[in-house]
Amino acid sequence: MNRNGATKEHGEEPQHQPHRVRLPGFLIEEEIGLGDAIKRVTYAMGIKPCGGCEKRAAALNRWMHFSR
């Protein structure tokens, strides 16, 4: 049983909300994930993305978001 009183099925991963970091005055868009931010920077530097980059970006997006 977890903190909320719900039981977890065997082998089931808990769903976590991403961390949210406010950066007012820095972002143009409403919200951007950490993976998308890194992908934009590396693309601007001339690094070509691969299949692993997409998986890594998706995992980082689930972990942290930046907002205004």
β-bridge mates for residue 31, sequence order: 67
Q: Which residue has the higher pLDDT, 55 or 31?
A: 55
Q: Tell me the backbone φ, ψ of residue 8, rounded to 5 degrees.
A: -105, 130
What's the domain range around 40? 19-67
Task: Using pLDDT thresholds of 50, 70 and 90, give the confidence band for residue 65.
Answer: confident
- Indicate whether 5 belongs to any domain: no
* Residues 64 and 33: beta-carbon distance below 8 Å: yes
* Domains contained in the chain, number: 1
Please state whether the predicted TM-score (pTM) of the whole model is above 0.85: no
pLDDT of amino acid 66: 82
- Chain-centre distance for alpha carbon 8: 24
Q: What is the pLDDT of residues 16-50, one digit of tens each?
A: 788 777 766 666 667 888 898 889 889 999 998 88
- Indicate whether 2 belongs to any domain: no
